[in-house]
Amino acid sequence: MRIYFTRHGETEWNRAGIIQGQDDSPLTKEGIEMGKILREKCKDIHFDAVYSSDLGRAYDTAKLICPNQYIVKTSLLREIDVGYWSGKNIQDVRKDDTWLHKLYFEKPHSYNRIDGESLYDLRRRVEKFFEYAVYPELDNNILVVTHGVTIVAMYSIMENVPMKNFWINRVRRNAEFNICDYHDGKFKIIKKAPQNPVDSI
């Protein structure tokens, strides 16, 4: 099985430096164009299944990439729930919530919050998606359209990364393909999208 997975196209909040989490904002014109570029890049690939986060920015990107194909929407592919950080400027969170922000990036194995998910919670959720869509190896090619930190969690599973080293993989750029093969219980990374130039939450 070959897995093509990508972060959604650029959104209004991406551009403004605002944390989205499980809140949402629309794709920018550039974000829409990103989806169309991915459609062209994969025009010769037949996807046996297309999966998307049920958040609008991911689903809208998936529809741009595969406009004529049924898309399975699932909450298992949502971005991490960062509680009251959603809707806040990244710089403000770094300044006003310094301890929790540092914990998130510097001690991810200890990061937890009562109004959202831990990184362990996120990884367990992604693992459930893998159990459903990947581990049975029912398809040859699948497309997964999801979110920045969710893709980091995917890599942590694929590469068996300890939680304390979660951020060894950084958030990838919007609308760039990552590619991985899965066969007989083993993952093989084929391509990693370029990393996002700034911290993303």
pLDDT digits (tens, 9 = 90+) for 42-69: 999 999 999 999 999 999 999 999 999 9
For position 201, what pLDDT does the model report? 76
Q: Is 120 exposed, middle or buried (0-12, 13-18, 19+ CB in 10 A)?
A: middle
For position 170, what pLDDT does the model report? 94
Alpha-carbon dihedral of residues 17, 87, 150, 142, nearest 10 degrees? -90
- Judged by phi (left if over 0) then psi (alpha if -120 to 50, else beta), residue 199 lies in beta
Alpha-carbon distance of 40 to 103, in angstroms, equals 40
The mean pLDDT value for 97-103 works out to 96
For position 198, what pLDDT does the model report? 73
Tell me: pLDDT of 197 over 90.
no
For position 134, what pLDDT does the model report? 98
Q: Is 113 exposed, middle or buried (0-12, 13-18, 19+ CB in 10 A)?
A: middle
Digit-coded pLDDT (tens) for 124-182: 999 999 999 999 999 999 999 999 999 999 999 999 999 999 999 999 999 999 999 99
Residue boundaries of the structural domains of the chain: 2-191
> Is domain 2-191 classified as CATH 3.30.70.3270?
no
For position 160, what pLDDT does the model report? 98
At residue 196 the predicted structure's pLDDT band, cuts being 50, 70 and 90, is confident
For position 50, what pLDDT does the model report? 98
For position 171, what pLDDT does the model report? 95
Residue 71's contacts (CB-CB under 8 Å, 6 or more residues apart) are 50, 51, 52, 59, 62, 63
Alpha-carbon distance of 100 to 103, in angstroms, equals 5
Decide: 28 and 10 in contact? Cβ < 8 Å: yes
CB atoms within 10 A of CB 3: 22
Name the residue among 53, 46, 119 with its Cα closest to residue 80.
119
For position 113, what pLDDT does the model report? 95
DSSP 53: E
For position 1, what pLDDT does the model report? 98
Tell me: pLDDT of 20 over 80.
yes
Mean pLDDT, the chain, integer: 97
* Binding-site entries for substrate: 7-14, 57
Could you tell me what percent of the chain has a pLDDT over 70? 100
For position 200, what pLDDT does the model report? 73
* Binding-site entries: 7-14, 57
CA dihedral sign of residues 65, 1, 127, 4: negative
Alpha-carbon distance of 192 to 118, in angstroms, equals 24
